[in-house]
């Protein structure tokens, strides 16, 4: 079903055929519908493919500098505590250039919701290595596969953020292989913000057929490989 909060006149959206973002945003859309929060919410979009969602929802959106979506949205929340603020970013935006912003926001227990899309690379710029790139994964900047001796192992965001936050935090990892799980985690993360205090964070494992150069079957096979490295589930609940 098309979420009610989608702007139908802007469909089809601008994501590539088969892009995992479509599934994640659709799940977010159903949560917004279900909680009836379209007119209370504001969505912050990082630079990255996620910004293609700028006109997808009938919800206010903000677009800020690469990696700075977390502090921008935290600032919005401090100015308007009644607003429900959602920060959407990629793994490059959240775990590379914007990591310091993300960690400090988590450490301050800012009452905001961050949805981070992990597709193991910098998608919008053509598929360069990100902190989340799997060992031996071929990307534009690792043509022979990521050498983890030299460049480290995939970054485990939720696990690290869990150690920084207080008991009010909701931290989870979901995968678009199960859109219902994505929906459930996003709903809990938003409800946690609505209750008041804690930082809430959902990393969603996604597919990027364009940069992976995969068809539907290969995309989902690679997603399975990701799930071996990035363990799914709720890592912290209030």
Partner 1 sequence: MKEDNLKILLAGEGGQGVQVIAEILNNTAYKAGLESIYIPNYGVEQRGGVSLAYLQLSKNPIAYPKFKIADILVVLCERAINRVKNYSNRKTKIINGIGFVEKVEEHNLSPRTYNMMILGLLTEFLPLDNGLVLKTMEEKFKKKNIPAELLNQNKQAFLLGRGLAVRLPRYAKKLASVPIKDHRKWPTFVKTSSDKPKITIKINPQYCKSCGICIYKCPTNALHFSEKITGIYGAPITEVDIKKCIGCGMCESVCPDTAIEVEKEKS
Ligand X SMILES: Cc1ncc(C[n+]2csc(CCOP(=O)(O)OP(=O)(O)O)c2C)c(N)n1
- Name the site residues for partner 1 (rule: CB under 8 A): 1-3, 6, 11-23, 26, 52, 176, 179-180, 209-210, 215-217, 219-220
Distances (CA, A) of 203 to 1, 5, 158: 24, 22, 7
* Closest distance to ligand SF4 from the beta carbon of 124 (Å): 6
Closer of 22 and 154 to partner 1 (Cβ): 22
Residue with tokens 């993300």, as numbered in its chain: 102
- Residue with CB nearest ligand X? 90
- For 179-208, the DSSP string reads HHHHHHHHHHHHHHHHHSS--EEEEEE---
160, containing H or E segment: helix 157-164
d(CA 145, CA 137): 5
Contact partner, 143, from ligand X, ligand SF4, partner 1, none, Cβ < 5-8 Å per class? none
Write the burial class of residue 213 (CB in 10 Å: 0-12 exposed, 13-18 middle, 19+ buried).
exposed
149, 171, 148: which is closest to 160 by C-alpha?
171
Closer of 53 and 171 to ligand SF4 (Cβ): 53
Contact partner, 122, from ligand X, ligand SF4, partner 1, none, Cβ < 5-8 Å per class? ligand X
d(CA 180, CA 163): 27
* Paired residues of 153 in beta bridges: none
Kindly tell me which residue out of 109, 178, 210, 214 binds ligand SF4, with binding defined by CB under 6 A: 210
Contact partner, 175, from ligand X, ligand SF4, partner 1, none, Cβ < 5-8 Å per class? none
Verify binding: residue 114, ligand X, rule CB under 6 A.
no
Contact partner, 54, from partner 1, ligand SF4, ligand X, none, Cβ < 5-8 Å per class? none
Verify binding: residue 222, ligand SF4, rule CB under 6 A.
no
Closer of 137 and 187 to ligand SF4 (Cβ): 137
Q: Which residues bind ligand SF4 (CB under 6 A)?
A: 15-16, 19, 21, 49, 119, 123-124, 208-211
């Amino acid at each position: 079903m098309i979420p009610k909060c989608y702007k139908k006149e802007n469909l089809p959206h601008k994501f590539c055929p088969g892009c995992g973002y479509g599934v994640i945003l659709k799940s977010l859309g159903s949560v917004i519908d279900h909680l009836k929060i379209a007119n209370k919410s504001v969505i912050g979009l990082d630079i990255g493919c996620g910004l293609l969602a700028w006109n997808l929802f009938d919800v206010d959106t903000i677009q800020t500098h690469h990696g700075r979506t977390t502090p921008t949205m935290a600032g919005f929340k401090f100015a308007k505590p009644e607003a429900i603020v959602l920060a959407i970013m990629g793994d490059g935006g959240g775990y590379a250039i914007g990591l310091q912003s993300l960690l400090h926001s988590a450490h301050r227990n800012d009452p905001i919701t961050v949805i981070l899309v992990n597709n193991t690379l910098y998608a919008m710029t053509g598929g360069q290595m990100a902190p989340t790139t799997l060992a031996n994964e071929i990307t534009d900047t690792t043509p022979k596969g990521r050498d983890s001796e030299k460049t480290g192992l995939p970054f485990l965001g939720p696990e690290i953020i869990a150690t920084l936050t207080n008991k009010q935090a909701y931290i989870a990892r979901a995968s678009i292989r199960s859109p219902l799980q994505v929906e459930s985690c996003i709903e809990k993360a938003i409800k946690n913000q609505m209750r008041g205090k804690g930082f809430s964070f959902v990393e969603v494992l996604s597919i990027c057929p364009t940069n992976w150069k995969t068809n539907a079957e290969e995309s989902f096979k690679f997603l399975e490989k990701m799930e071996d490295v990035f363990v799914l589930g709720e890592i912290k609940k209030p």
